[in-house]
C-alpha cells in the first residue's frame, strides 16, 4: 500500500453520472448505463470534466459503490493512473 495523501472523490451533480476527482482535478468520469456503471479514466488530470478524451481506460462495476471501491483499491495498490 502506498503512502499517498491524495484521496479519490466521486461527486455526483447529475443523476446517473459522477466525476472522479483527485486533489480537485478531474481524473475520470462515471456513468450509469442501465444498471451497470462504466468509468472512463483520463490519462492526465484535467481542470474540468472532459467528454471522454482519447486513450481513456474503461472500468465497469455493478454499482457506483462497487466502482468506487475498485478504483480506490487500484489507486492504493498501483498509484495514480493520471500521471
| Residue 46 domain boundaries | 8-78
Domain membership of residue 67 (yes or no) is: yes
Residue 65 lies in a domain: yes
What's the CA angle centered on 15, arms 57 and 35, to 5 degrees?
A: 60
pLDDT in tens, 22-76: 999 999 999 999 989 999 999 999 998 877 778 899 999 999 999 999 999 999 9
Answer yes or no: is pLDDT of 4 > 70.
Answer: no
Q: Please give the residue that has the higher pLDDT: either 26 or 13.
A: 26
In a domain, 83, yes or no: no
Domain for residue 74, yes or no?
Answer: yes
Residue 1 forms part of a structural domain: no
Total domains, the chain? 1
Q: Is residue 33 part of a domain?
A: yes
Per-residue CA distances from 45 to 10, 62, 81 (Å):
15, 25, 9
pLDDT score recorded for residue 5: 64
pTM of the complete model: 0.85
Looking up cell 462495476, which residue turns up?
61
In a domain, 73, yes or no: yes
Tell me how crowded residue 81 is: count the other CB atoms within 10 A of its CB. 17
Amino acid at each position: 500500500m502506498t503512502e499517498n495523501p491524495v484521496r479519490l472523490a466521486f461527486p455526483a451533480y447529475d443523476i446517473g453520472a459522477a466525476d472522479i476527482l483527485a486533489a480537485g482535478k478531474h481524473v475520470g468520469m462515471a456513468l450509469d448505463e442501465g444498471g451497470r456503471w462504466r468509468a472512463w479514466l483520463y490519462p492526465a488530470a484535467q481542470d474540468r470534466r472532459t467528454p471522454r478524451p482519447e486513450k481513456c481506460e474503461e472500468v465497469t462495476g455493478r454499482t457506483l459503490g462497487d466502482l468506487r471501491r475498485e478504483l480506490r483499491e487500484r489507486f492504493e495498490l498501483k498509484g495514480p493512473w493520471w500521471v
